Amino acid sequence: MHRAHKIRMYPTKAQTSLLWQAVGASRFTYNWGLDRWNKMWEAHKADHRNPRPSYVLLSRIWTKEKPEWTLQIARCTTNRSLKDLGTAWNNFFKGLARLPVFKKKKDLSGSFYVERGKSIIKGKKIRIPNVGWMKLSEELRFSGKIMSYTVSTYAGKWYVSVSMEVPEETKEVPDTVIGIDVGLDNPAWDSDNNHLQLPEKDLEKLERKLKRAQKALSRSQRNSKNSYKKLLRKQKVQDKINNTRSDISHKYTTAVCKNHATVVIEDLDIEGMIEKAPARAVRRAFNSSLMRAIHWQLSYKAKKLIKAPRFYPSSKTCSHCGAIKSDLKITERVYKCPACSLEINRDYNAALNLMKIGLVKSEFKLVETPNKSL
């Protein structure tokens, strides 16, 4: 199976400049290809005798017309940008993604691709073509065949993501079932009565700091040196928030999947929930919630993932007697059963109902998702 290990790099000032050149070349190639693709597509629609744009056709034109300064960058980097563009268009035509757009330089972020034969990792060092050896924060966690490298930057930090082909893990997991209910007030509550808790005070402090940084950035002159400094400051705060939330969600989902072979979740239409949200604050809460992250992590960590039907009333059903409380309001955080007088936390009650679906799944129309290791 395939695994990816993202490691932080520590380049020197001279190496940082060379890395930015590679990022710039990758972005320039992508934008060049997108401009050519748009022109060729319009010509093809006007007259079908004109060639239809494709990655192969663009790469041939690029070989003849590419600027001389791109020769200083590894060939695999620019070729990969054109290949990514072709993939983006194919996904758009299949309805899997939005229309490809031009990449911008001003966001102080970017990435580029390196083939496995062009780079070497030895211990805590890596050699990138045309850049040289750089220190790494840690060694590779996996042992196997390296497939490729992707170098990226954000908030002034540089990372390399190493894609590897490793032997499939055969760890034994207890053959038990767990139900997990995700939401806004509680990011996740499972049928073992454990729930994921975020450090609210720390995050609120960082959110206030982020708000001040965004306000300062909006007041600065666009594309000035001062604006880039303030953008970097804002990205560093955002990076802390992202890392905090990602660390907590990964630890929670990993612990769940190590102790339970079957995980049951709801088949939520989160995008539709965001669109139907009555207020801007609610839409922001959905966008900043961990609902999508937890579902995505479980999709490739769980040995067996079961999705309950989208309209299954997990919150309205009593986990003790099975009665349905149709008039349950969103503001009611404690479920009070009108039939058996059970009082239980709303999210815990939903998680118990989801767990029962996993135990008697033959009675339901379910969507089972096998393990997808990355």
Pick from 206-210, 222-226, 276-280, 308-312: least confident:
276-280
The reported pLDDT for the residue numbered 309 is 86
The reported pLDDT for the residue numbered 224 is 87
Question: Whole-prediction pTM value?
Answer: 0.82
Instruction: Write the CA distances from 314 to 136, 184, 253, 303, integer angstroms.
Output: 47, 16, 21, 23
Tokens of 285: 């809460």
* 172 within a domain of the structure (yes/no): no
17 shares a domain with 117: yes
**Phi–psi pair at 257, nearest 5 degrees:** -75, -20
Q: How many domains, the chain?
A: 2
Share the mean pLDDT of the chain.
Answer: 89
CB neighbour class for 61 (10 Å; exposed up to 12, middle 13-18, buried from 19): middle
Give tens-digit pLDDT for 230-252: 999 999 999 999 999 999 999 99
DSSP 275-300: HT-SSHHHHHHHHHSSHHHHHHHHHH
The reported pLDDT for the residue numbered 364 is 46
Give tens-digit pLDDT for 46-98: 999 999 999 999 999 999 999 999 999 999 999 999 999 999 999 999 998 99
**Phi–psi pair at 266, nearest 5 degrees:** -90, 150
129 shares a domain with 53: yes
Tokens of 153: 């930057």
The reported pLDDT for the residue numbered 372 is 45
Local confidence band at 361 (pLDDT 50, 70, 90 cut-offs): low
201 shares a domain with 160: no
* Residue 363, pLDDT above cutoff 70: no
Give tens-digit pLDDT for 159-176: 999 999 988 777 788 889
| Structural domain of 194 | 177-370
* CA–CA distance, 4 with 29 (Å, rounded to integer): 25
The reported pLDDT for the residue numbered 342 is 87
Instruction: Identify the domain boundary among 117, 133, 165.
Output: 165
297 shares a domain with 252: yes
